[in-house]
Chain A
């Protein structure tokens, strides 16, 4: 089992225990240390006291000895014998022996006044006894024949009250006899007497036993020189205290107190074990309480974590707030609030994600999801209908977007009402609706679409305007046409596209429609790759100044040389690129290529304006202005050498935005031209506001200029108009010399067309130009 040290519960627990351990360790250490010191000092005190008691015992024995021999010294008979000592020492000695027996001493001696032995029952090497010393009160030790005695001497005066001392009486007791178990019990220690490094006597059992000699030697070796210390003897740890009882030149008599440390410290050990027991209980209790405490925090947290996990997967749960810790409770409430907020937002997101705000109908996502669900169900057959409103752009343009929106809403309402049971309608975007209608395989399509067509039978009356609306439908069948949602959508879309072309109210998909579509779709996926690998190229069509025949500028036209499909006309892929948004990359690529070409021409001494077409989509691209600026800088091209051509209709689709972008480009110095002028619906007002330098008259007015007087009038009018607005005029589609002359007469400045040159491959342009200039000159 591994412990997660990062979990709150364990951290709290571990910290608690850690803190507790430290506290207790310190307390234990201090207490035991103090107690140990106390015990030790107690023992030392006891040693000191014992020494006093021991000394007192010796004093006591000394006094007792004195009291014993003092009366003997006054014994009349003894005095008589002393008086006759010279003649009869045997009697004296015998009497002294008798007295000695009476008081149980171990030797006696009678000394002359000058401390020489008169008679004695101990053979001593002493010639002169230290009488003055041993007559003193107190403890007098005399070592005779290597045996220490407690001795006293008293003077014998023949007449007691006389100052004259006749002799000295000395008696002694073997000190060995004083060391008894009684003494041991009184002192509380074992007593060992050591004379000159030999154990004289001991109450310590080991020093009294059979191996007394050996043990004694070992014991002596162990004794340190210090006054007291601890020694280890025969596997026991002893507390030891020693002091000198008597020390003379040759002899040193010491007493040694010892006690088994286990006995001495028995209280200490008890205390320690009791303390450890109590502390153990405290630890258990603390661990238990801190465990409970940490659980009381951690468990609600764990629950909240689980809830948070559930929320992560969208499983919302009832959150209870029963934590005992207020912070945790706050968290619980916060989580609860968060959950509600998430639920609310999710609902809104769901609404936004799956429903159209405008119509209230499900959106494309919802539609696709529903379709996938139906496919997954696999029991139903159904028709996918994509529908768009015919000429809806006109409605928007003429009646306004707000009105258009209302039309869409009205259509949505009617569609919803009209649908058969089980059918499903969604609003995709713009003017596109989509429907799923369950049907039998053999259903008549007409019956299927009839309710939808019915929707548009009656006019829509909105804001008191009666509006006749029609729609086109593309239909794909599941599972006959495709078994996947995107396939169905694609085919329905193809069908719709075809339907629009044919101006039918509906078109059912069939495979024939598909081939063209597939190509178109594939092209788009290949477009970007083609930009990079050079399959797309710019071809250049020169524009000449009609007055001078000089090449003034060139229009850059994109050509796609597809490795499989061969040459693809711009009309075939540019609208597609516009639909898919790929036009942006195409335009940027074209601008860069044009600038490169410009520099190439410049290197060869030609300063020719480069005209590049941009689409309506580009005008909504806020990047365009910056891109142009950067590209000009990058290729070091003066801005007014670049001419951007934009169609009249591109400006008209969102005039405000377009005018803003065009203004920015114009401020930069870039030349602007309105392409295909005359085919759109631009108003004079808008034309006036549009910041262009040039109008390019659509080739439809120029191609038949020679034969059609009306066209000539139109061209003349446009030219006049342009000139009046301060704009120059370009005519495209010039295919013969007569047209060129007419244009020159009308006052058109620039001409472009097959008469001058068709679009020329990049590699061929420079030779062409050189040649043209040569001929022209």
Chain B
């Protein structure tokens, strides 16, 4: 096949996509290895054909919020699209010192107690682990994706997307997912409403609590 022919085919496909632009409902169910529904699993769907993405939305994206309530991050896991600003209000009456050494976003917001702090722009995809320097137990995650289709499973482990027809890669993320599941990509060709189920290949990591192993300190 000759090179000009190849381009022809690609352009036809693009036309086809635009042409069939009416959205389809895609329902995704995430279960563990035991087929029990998993909640709060980040599910995001990347379009194979990235050119279709609406670049205009970059600046207009609403600011996301990672609050601190009762000395915990709220929500624990926040998923945002790339280039989203996230504000870190403090709903507690005490001060927090939020920081991250994650490469996707390294920052610290030094001791503050006011509700309004300057929102920070997260414009690199990836995982940003949040901690509080004065409350070791506090941990929160910001997961930055480069797609408009993302969300977390509900209590039934379910999430629904409206997707234009096209080809997509479905991915999941959670801090406790094993690498195999973390790297999992499900390809999907959206041309009708669809319902699919993702079952974890491995059991999730156990939740980590630093205080469980610090028995030597408990003594005192």
Contacts and interface: CB of A to CB of B under 8 A. Distances in A.
Contacts of B100: 159
Given A76-B133, A83-B106, A159 B216 contact: no
B155 to A, nearest CB: 24
Interface string B131-162: 10100111100000000000000000000000
Interface string B154-178: 0000000000000000000001000
Interface in A55-86: 63, 66-67, 70, 74, 76, 79-80, 83
A158 B139 CA distance: 11
B138 A161 contact: yes
Contact of A63 (B106, B129, B216): B216
Contacts of B129: 158-159, 162, 164
A56 to B, nearest CB: 14
Interface in B80-132: 97, 99-101, 106, 129-131
A232 B175 CA distance: 66
Contacts of B137: 160-161
B210 interface: yes
A137 interface: yes
Interface string B183-220: 00000000000000000000001001110001111011
A348 to B, nearest CB: 115
B108 to A, nearest CB: 8
B81 to A, nearest CB: 23
A79 B101 contact: yes
A157 B216 contact: no
Contact of B210 (A76, A137, A158, A161): A161
A164 B106 CA distance: 16
B216 A137 contact: yes
Interface in A33-74: 63, 66-67, 70, 74
A178 to B, nearest CB: 19
Contact of A159 (B131, B209, B214): B131
A161 B139 contact: yes
A163 interface: yes
A67 B215 CA distance: 11
A159 B100 CA distance: 8
A80 B136 CA distance: 15
A161 B220 CA distance: 20
Nearest to B131: A159
Contacts of B210: 157, 160-161
A161 B208 contact: yes
Given A74-B136, A79-B101, A158-B101, A163 B216 contact: no
A159 B106 contact: no
A159 B133 CA distance: 8
B157 to A, nearest CB: 23
Interface string B11-31: 000000000000000000000
A419 B14 CA distance: 202
A66 B133 contact: no
B71 to A, nearest CB: 12
A161 B99 contact: no
B208 to A, nearest CB: 4
A166 B101 CA distance: 10
A157 B99 CA distance: 13
Contacts of A160: 131, 136-137, 139, 210
B130 A159 contact: yes
B217 A161 contact: no
B141 to A, nearest CB: 9
Contacts of A74: 136
Contacts of B209: 161
A129 B215 CA distance: 24
Given A160-B136, A161-B137, A162-B208, A67 B131 contact: no
14 contacts: A70-B216, A76-B97, A76-B133, A79-B101, A83-B106, A137-B215, A137-B216, A159-B100, A159-B129, A160-B131, A161-B136, A161-B139, A162-B129, A164-B129
Given A158-B131, A159-B101, A163-B205, 17 more contacts: A63-B219, A67-B216, A67-B217, A70-B216, A74-B136, A76-B97, A76-B133, A80-B101, A83-B101, A158-B101, A159-B100, A159-B129, A160-B131, A161-B138, A161-B139, A161-B209, A164-B129
Interface of B: 97, 99-101, 106, 129-131, 133, 136-139, 175, 205, 208-210, 214-217, 219-220
- In the complex, the 10 A-B pairs of residues with the closest C-beta atoms, listed nearest first: A160-B136, A163-B208, A159-B131, A161-B139, A158-B101, A76-B133, A83-B101, A159-B129, A161-B137, A161-B210
